Amino acid sequence: MPEGAEIRQAADKLAQVLEGQVVTTVRFDLPRLSRYAKQLRQLLHTNSSTYADRSVRLPSPVIGATTRSQHAINPAYTWETPLKKTCYSRGLAINGYSDNGVSTMPEPLILERQDAVAIIAINDAPYNRMSLEFIDQLEVLIGEIASDDSIRAVVVTAAGMDNFSVGMNLKQLPEGIQRKGSPDALFDQRLRVIGAIEGMRKPWIATLFGFCLGGGLELPLGCHFRLAAAEGAQIGLPEMDLGTVPAWGGSARLSKCIGRDQALDMILRARKISGPEALRIGLVHEVWPLAELKDRAIELAHELAAQPALAVRSMMEVIGSSRECSLEELLQAERRAVTATLGSPDAKEGMMAFLEKRKPVFIQ
């Protein structure tokens, strides 16, 4: 394709994304387009009439464009030639630049959409550290996902096939404390993020492979489903080896998940366990060969997303509070869920599908 036609096609596609006409991920070859940053900016500015509440993320080494409503993370930023600042309010987000204004540093997370499923990937291979920037972006994204009814399930994974995450980038700890004002404020943000995932009435699925250590286990503990690799996974909270303790809610959630004795064994001995052992003690729901793990997680997300949304939300509320509520309170919550779903369009569809011996197609 002639270079001029290629850059115009790229601009046209990005403009469609910004205007909400594209609901999937559009990717372009960054090296081929890098020298056309200025032209791309000009064509994009000319061809796209709507920028509000849209964003385009440009991670290296590919340009990825993802449309999502209400995704202007920081509307205070403005457009500056040649793309020298993060331009969320005008639909373009870039972190890290070369001299010609093209991204040279990958975004800390990558968001993709597959129909009603959102896929979030930590983007710091091979170790996939959870940087300060990752947590900041994840916190904003969680709020958007919670309010977006078109998203029904979420997969949390990581770039590459080596490791899910080794947790926080410890080199950023002093900077993080300075940014947030205190150690408590820094750790409170992590607790807030994981708590928001745990309390959301949409299922979140985490993939555990390679190193899943510290925050790399604490974040999945806030998810509702955990799938692990059958080989190579090292899952644990090894903070004892650093002379400290888990700080993102790991000790509390791990003990609730697998029981006091197993949690003490893992934490006090800084043990790292495999995927099959994690399945045996109830830490993960399924184990799959590494090559199949991410695909299986996405398949599960689609399966859950196809379930009746009102019924899913109701059951997640009831079961999600089961550890804190009495049996009587849970029975009352279940009755409220029955009342809410009884006679709903999805309930009628489910009954008709049963009578007609077909698979239901839920709409709510």
Q: How many domains does the chain have?
A: 3
Residue 347 belongs to what domain range? 309-355
Residues recognised as catalytic: 218, 239
Is there a single domain that holds both residue 97 and residue 117?
no
Is there a single domain that holds both residue 60 and residue 36?
yes
Would strands 109-114 and 62-66 be described as parallel, antiparallel, or unpaired? unpaired
pLDDT given for residue 242 in this prediction = 87
The whole-angstrom separation of Cα 79 and Cα 40 is 13
Examine the fold and report which residue of 87, 106, 125 is the final residue of a domain before the chain moves on.
Answer: 106
Is there a single domain that holds both residue 81 and residue 114?
no
Is there a single domain that holds both residue 209 and residue 233?
yes
Is there a single domain that holds both residue 64 and residue 170?
no
Is there a single domain that holds both residue 187 and residue 213?
yes
- Domain contains 45: yes
Is there a single domain that holds both residue 198 and residue 113?
yes
Is there a single domain that holds both residue 317 and residue 293?
no
Examine the fold and report which residue of 71, 106, 141 is the final residue of a domain before the chain moves on.
Answer: 106
Is there a single domain that holds both residue 58 and residue 205?
no
Per run of 10 residues, the mean pLDDT along the chain (length 364 residues) is 55 51 40 47 46 33 31 28 29 35 65 94 94 94 93 96 94 92 94 96 97 97 97 96 92 94 96 97 97 96 92 84 74 78 76 78 73
Is there a single domain that holds both residue 340 and residue 276?
no
Element (H, E) at 252: helix 250-258
Is there a single domain that holds both residue 101 and residue 219?
no
Would strands 117-122 and 109-114 be described as parallel, antiparallel, or unpaired? antiparallel
Angle at 104 between CA 103 and CA 107, to 5 degrees: 70
The whole-angstrom separation of Cα 27 and Cα 29 is 7
pLDDT given for residue 58 in this prediction = 34
Element (H, E) at 32: helix 30-33
pLDDT given for residue 40 in this prediction = 53
- Domain contains 225: yes
pLDDT given for residue 359 in this prediction = 81
The whole-angstrom separation of Cα 307 and Cα 350 is 10
CATH number at residue 241: 3.90.226.10
- Domain contains 360: no
- Give the DSSP letter string of 184-226: HHHHHHHHHHHHHHHH-SS-EEEEE-SEEETHHHHHHHHSSEE
- Domain contains 363: no
Distance from the first to the final alpha carbon of the chain = 44
pLDDT given for residue 84 in this prediction = 29
C-alpha torsion angle, residues 124, 94, 17, 67 (rounded to 10): 50
Examine the fold and report which residue of 306, 321, 338 is the final residue of a domain before the chain moves on.
Answer: 306
Could you tell me which residues are beta bridge partners of residue 52? Answer: none
Residue 50 corresponds to which tokens in the numbers above?
Answer: 């709507």
The whole-angstrom separation of Cα 74 and Cα 123 is 20
Element (H, E) at 317: helix 309-320
Is there a single domain that holds both residue 115 and residue 47?
no
- Domain contains 235: yes
Asked if residue 26 lies in contact with residue 65, where contact means CB atoms within 8 angstroms, the answer is: yes
pLDDT given for residue 61 in this prediction = 28
Q: Residue 238 gets which letter from DSSP?
A: G
The whole model's pTM is what?
Answer: 0.68
- Domain contains 102: yes
- Domain contains 141: yes
The whole-angstrom separation of Cα 76 and Cα 108 is 20
